[in-house]
Amino acid sequence: MKTDPLFNVPLFAPIWKKIALIFFPLPIVLVIGLGVVNPEFDPNQVAQIIYGFWAIAFAILNLTREKVEDEMIQRMRLKSFQTGFFWLIWGVGALMLINYIRFERFTSEMFTAFLVLFLLNIYIYAAFQLQLYQSKTAQDHD
């Protein structure tokens, strides 16, 4: 079966992992700078800036190929995306429940695209890293 190019997702070169690491401290520096320039900077925007940058960082990490990108890694990657979406559904549900218990209403301002993308990408990353770890420990025991 021929693969449709629409569904072919090109992966980044491994050097992109280093670029992704820049996105973790960058929002902290940016938020400090914005706080100095504008002391009345909205604190709610701080979380959104951090979520956005960290979502980008984890997305880059998720889309960066491994040194050896064999069929097993490709299956792990696909399973990680499926697992990440599953965990996202339950994670957002838990946040909604906690939010309802805390504020006695479902507040929409907490559920921004930045937060959801951050959660999704960190779940995917965690699932992929867990699979790599389990694979490595299984090989070490053989």
**Domain residue ranges of the chain, discontinuous segments joined by +:** 5-141
pTM for the complete prediction? Answer: 0.85
* Distance in angstroms (rounded) separating the CA atoms of residues 27 and 5: 35
Per-residue pLDDT of the chain (142 residues; tens, 9 = 90+): 567 888 888 899 999 999 999 999 999 999 999 889 988 888 778 889 999 999 999 999 999 999 888 999 999 999 999 999 999 999 888 888 888 888 777 666 667 889 999 999 999 999 999 999 999 888 887 6
Distances (CA, A) of 112 to 2, 79, 103: 38, 25, 17
Please give the pLDDT value at position 124: 97
Three-class SS state of 64 = strand
